[in-house]
Amino acid sequence: MTNGWEESASAWIADMGTDGDFGRQFVLDAPMIGRMRDRGFRRALDVGCGEGRFCRMLAALGIKPVGIDPTEALIRHARQQDPEGDYRIGRAEALDFPDRSYDLVISYLTLIDIPDIRTAIAEMCRVLEPAGTLLIANLTSFNTAGQPDGWVQDADGNPRFSIDHYMEERVEWVQWRDIRIHNWHRPLSTYMSLLLDQGLQLRHFSEPMPVGADPVKAEWHRRVPYFLIMEWQKPAA
């Protein structure tokens, strides 16, 4: 069954442009980069790298990135944009790398795209060196629990964000502009339990707000934040 990514790839590439979409440009990029700068990271695996924008940002920080993604059209674009880069077809559930081969593993808005999240989180942890860092940006679970309806009008005409069946893990088609893809909803406790079960230690948790964005858009984001950032550390050997 398709997850929509091959069919949506050209619209996705256009949507990202050079600076990324709203969430990346005004909410996530700055704190994600801030957590990696001057930390001495050497070798990073970007799991679900898409068209490679974040790998290019990692390389600019002096961190050597490898990007993997199952969507061939996105990997093709990543290679065109960055011929010196290392981009491979691959899935999070079967990372084709030895144990303990990266000091930084990144999942930038990909947990919601990965069907077998249990195996994928175990794989991300397996390829991390002892004391290595797993940096995650994800959609908030109350946001994915509101899909596909999201904002609706109540009986008085007031906007309400419709969250339902929060505890039920499920996949939904989500659509905007010419992009139509699968997104998984899982309660936050599912992600937290899987990460804790790997023995990882939580070092940072935040719900970042927009900076420098159009104030009207920023206000909608403040009402129902889209994103969270977590940094987890593998225990030293």
Ligand X SMILES: C[S@@+](CC[C@H](N)C(=O)[O-])C[C@H]1O[C@@H](n2cnc3c(N)ncnc32)[C@H](O)[C@@H]1O
Give the interface with ligand X as residue ranges (CB under 6 A): 3, 5, 47-50, 53-54, 69-71, 74, 91-93, 108-110, 113-114
Comparing CB distances to ligand X, the nearer of 150 and 160 is 150
Residue (21 or 64) nearer to ligand X, CB: 21
Instruction: Give 31 or 160: the residue with its C-beta nearer to ligand X.
Output: 31
Alpha helices in 66-224 (DSSP H): 72-81, 117-126, 141-144, 188-197, 215-223
Closest CB to ligand X: residue number: 50
Kindly write down the DSSP assignment for every residue of 141-176, as one continuous string. Answer: HHHHTTTTT-EEE-TTS-EEE----TT--EEEEEEE
Shortest Å, Cβ 67 to ligand X:
8
Ramachandran region of residue 45, left (φ > 0), alpha (ψ -120 to 50) or beta?
beta
> In terms of CB distance, is 97 or 160 closer to ligand X?
97
CA distance 58 to 37: 9
Q: Residue 62 in 3-state DSSP?
A: coil
Q: Which residue number, 55 or 200, has a Cβ lying nearer to ligand X?
A: 55
Instruction: Name the minimum Å distance from CB 109 to ligand X.
Output: 4
Shortest distance (Å) from residue 195 CB to ligand X: 17
**CB 48 → ligand X: shortest distance, Å?**
3
Crossing angle for the helix pair 5-16 and 72-81, nearest 10 degrees? 30
* Residue 110 C-beta: closest distance to ligand X, Å: 4
